Amino acid sequence: MQSYPQRVRDNILPLSVGSTLPEAFEEWLFTDEVIDHDHKDEICELCEQDGLRYHFRIKNQLTHHHLWVGSHCILRFNVSVFEQGRRLSPEEAKRRLNRLEEQMRMESCINALERVAATENNEILKNALTYLRKNKNLTPKYAFVVLWRLKINQIEHNPGFFKVTLKTAKQRSDLLSMDESRVHLIWPALTSTQRDIAIRLGHTPPGL
């Protein structure tokens, strides 16, 4: 069985001009393309690790070969990651790849909910998702609808993906009038400032 370093060498050097790993990886960059396979059984074409859900495309600038890899390999081998024409530092690259994964997870959640809304003919959920796509956030009432249906349908999600807006008096009034159990459901999606607003409106944090 090949060792990890040997697998990497065998997979990257034939596609590169450089004859050593440091030289070869200088030729490669992340293309900003990501695929969410919705399951964790894909393989990294560089290190051959399995159990991947997300594939990130890297391309050799000299040979024009490409590979679909995991984000771990991009970071481990310092493959170039650019944003607005600037090469990012390793810490910046990690944050960018994490953001891309979060965006893919959120898109997967929304797509799953749109299928639920169509199956159930749920107009309220449809309206909430339309609002989300347009405004990139949710009112308190829409946040409850979205997070409730995610929970009921056991759709994998992170409540922090969904931003709640409390900019208008109507939105704060809606939060004031919501049942405590509904406020607790959307609590993980609220910012610390929004949680303080909820407390001032008379709501108690979950667990108290």
Helix/strand number for the chain, H first, E second: 9, 5
| Helix H or strand E encompassing 56 | strand 54-60
Residue matched to tokens 């056991």: 154
Average pLDDT over residues 92-120: 92
> Domains in the chain: how many in total?
2
| 38 found inside a domain | yes
What mean pLDDT value characterizes the chain? 94
Instruction: Strands of 62-118 (E only): list them.
Output: 66-69, 82-83, 86-87
What is the pTM for the complete model shown? 0.75
| 117 found inside a domain | yes
Domain end residue (candidates: 88, 112, 142): 88
Q: How far apart are CA 70 and CA 74, in angstroms?
A: 7
Q: How far apart are CA 116 and CA 122, in angstroms?
A: 8
Average pLDDT over residues 102-109: 88
Range of the domain at 17: 4-88
Pair (50, 139) in one structural domain: no
Q: How far apart are CA 95 and CA 190, in angstroms?
A: 22
Pair (147, 57) in one structural domain: no
Task: For residue 93, give the amino acid letter.
Answer: A
